[in-house]
Chains A and B, each alone.
Chain A
Amino acid sequence: MKRFIQIGWKTLRRPSGYFSLGFLVIGGFVAGVIFWGGFNTALEITNTEEFCISCHEMENNVYEELKATIHFSNRSGVRATCPDCHVPHKWSDKIARKMQASKEVWGMIFGTIDTRDKFVAERRRLAQHEWTRLKSNDSLECRNCHNFEYMDFTEQSERAAVQHSTTLASGEKTCIDCHKGIAHELPDMKGVEGW
C-alpha cells in the first residue's frame, strides 16, 4: 500500500521519469481538449432558459412575467431567453457574471426568495443590481440584438425617433434609463430617476 502511494507520488512529481515526453505532450493535449470541452459544455448548459427556470423562484416569478411582454411573444417570433439579457456574451465577462451568480445558488439553497412575498419584498434590491449592471456596461445585453447603427428612425414612432436620435445618439442616456421593466414587472419605483 505504502509502495503504491510512493510510486503514485513520484509519478506525479516527475512524470517524465516514467512516461515518454511524446506521450505526456500528446496525452496532455488530449486531456486538455476533453477538459476544456467538458467545461464549456457544462457552462453552456447553465446558460439555457431550461436551466434558469428549473428553480421555481425563476419559473413562478420572473418567467411568468416575461411571457406577456414583447420579448416573449411578438410578430416575428424572435425571442429573448433569460441569458440573452442577463449573461454577457463575451467570455471573460460571462465568467465574471457566472462567479457572481454563485451567490444566487446560495440564495436558492437557503430560500432567500422562495415565496412570492419574499420575492416581492426583495424585488427593488434585485432590480437595482440589474439596472446598475446595464447602466455601467452601456446596456450591452440590449445592444447584442438592438444595434443602434442599424436603427431606422423613420420606422419608429415620432416620439421614439426624437428620443433615440437625441439623448441615445449622444450617449447621454442608455437603453435601461428609459426601458426599465421592459421584460418584467417593476418594483416600487419611488426615488428612481425618471419616475
Chain B
Amino acid sequence: MKHLMIKLIIAILFFSTTAIAVENEIATLRDKTKIDQQQEPNTIPKVINKDIKKSRNYPMQPPIIPHTARNYEVNLNNNKCLSCHNRNRTEESQAPMVSVTHFMNRDGNFLAEISPRRYFCNQCHVTQRDTKPLVENTFIDMHSLIKHKNSEE
C-alpha cells in the first residue's frame, strides 16, 4: 500500500512537470501568458505607404504591395487593384503592370483578360506593416548562399 502511494505521487509529479513543460512550449506566441489571463495588446502598426519597391526574397515571391490598400474592393463586380495595374491602365497610372503569367490559364494559353485563377490579388500580394517580426527568420536568400559558397572555395 505504501509503495503504491509513493508510485502514485511520483507519477503525479512526473506528469505535472511534463504538463508545465508542454504548456511553456505551446505558449510562446502568447509570450507565456497564462491561459486565464490576457496580455495587453500592442498598438497596431501602420501599413507601409512609401511606394518604394522592395527586393524579393526569392525569385518566385509575389511582390509585396508598397502602399495602403484599405477598402480596396476585389470581388465579382470590381477589382480596384486592376484600375491601376491592368495592362490598359498602366500608361496613365504609371503603376507596374501585372505579370503576363496572370493572363495565362492553367493550360498555358494567354487570355485577353486576367485569368480567373489570378484575379484575387491579395491571395498572394500583401501590404507590409512597419513592425518587428514576431518570430526570428532564418531564411537565407539563394544569392547570399551561392556567394557564401563561392567565397569558401
Listed in ascending order, the chain A residues whose CB lies under 8 Å from chain B are 68-70, 157-159, 181, 185-189, 194-195
User: Is B71 within 8 A of A68, CB to CB?
Assistant: yes
Q: Tell whether, in the assembled complex, residue B49 and residue A189 are in contact, meaning their CB atoms are under 8 Å apart.
A: no
Report B-chain residues with C-beta under 8 Å of the C-beta of A186: 73, 77-78
Pairs across A and B, CB under 8 Å, 22 listed: A70-B71, A157-B49, A157-B67, A158-B50, A158-B51, A159-B67, A181-B78, A181-B80, A185-B73, A186-B73, A186-B77, A187-B77, A188-B76, A188-B77, A188-B78, A189-B77, A189-B78, A194-B83, A194-B89, A195-B78, A195-B82, A195-B83
**Chain A residues with CB below 8 A from B51, complex form:** 157-159
Chain B residues in contact with chain A, CB under 8 A? Answer: 49-51, 67, 70-71, 73, 76-78, 80, 82-83, 89
Instruction: Classify the secondary structure of B's interface with A.
Output: loop
How long is the Cα–Cα vector from A181 to B74 in the complex, in angstroms? 12
Could you tell me the distance between the alpha carbons of A70 and B50 in the complex, rounded to whole angstroms? 20
A159 to B71, CA, bound (A): 17
Q: Which residues of the partner chain B approach A159 to less than 8 Å between Cβ atoms?
A: 51, 67
Chain A nearest CB, measured from B46 CB (Å): 11
**B27 CB, nearest partner CB in chain A, Å:** 33
Alpha-carbon separation in the docked complex, A189 to B80 (Å) = 10
CB distance from B113 to the nearest CB of A (A): 11
User: CB < 8 Å: which of A70, A185, A187 contacts B70?
Assistant: A70
Contact partner of A69 among B50, B71, B77, B82, CB < 8 A? B71
Q: What A residues does B77 contact at CB under 8 A?
A: 186-189
Beta-carbon nearest neighbor of A181 in chain B: B73
Q: How far is the CA of A70 from the CA of B70 in the complex (A)?
A: 9
Q: Which residues of A contact B67 (CB under 8 A)?
A: 157, 159
Q: Which residues of A contact B80 (CB under 8 A)?
A: 181
* A155 to B: closest C-beta gap in Å: 12
Q: Closest A-chain residue to B76, C-beta based?
A: A188
A69 to B83 alpha-carbon distance, docked (Å)? 19
Which of chain B's residues have a CB closer than 8 A to the CB of A188? 76-78
Q: How far is the CA of A79 from the CA of B34 in the complex (A)?
A: 40
Closest CB of chain A to B51's CB: distance in Å?
6
For residue B86, which residue of chain A has the nearest CB?
Answer: A195
Q: CB-CB < 8 A to B50: which residues of A?
A: 158
Q: How far is the CA of A69 from the CA of B73 in the complex (A)?
A: 12
Closest chain B residue, CB of each to CB of A120:
B77
C-alpha gap A185/B49 in the complex (Å): 23
Residues of A within 8 A of B49 (CB): 157
B residues less than 8 Å from A185 (CB atoms): 73
In the assembled complex, which residues on chain A have CB atoms less than 8 Å from the CB atom of B70? 70
Name the CB-closest residue of A to B68. Answer: A157
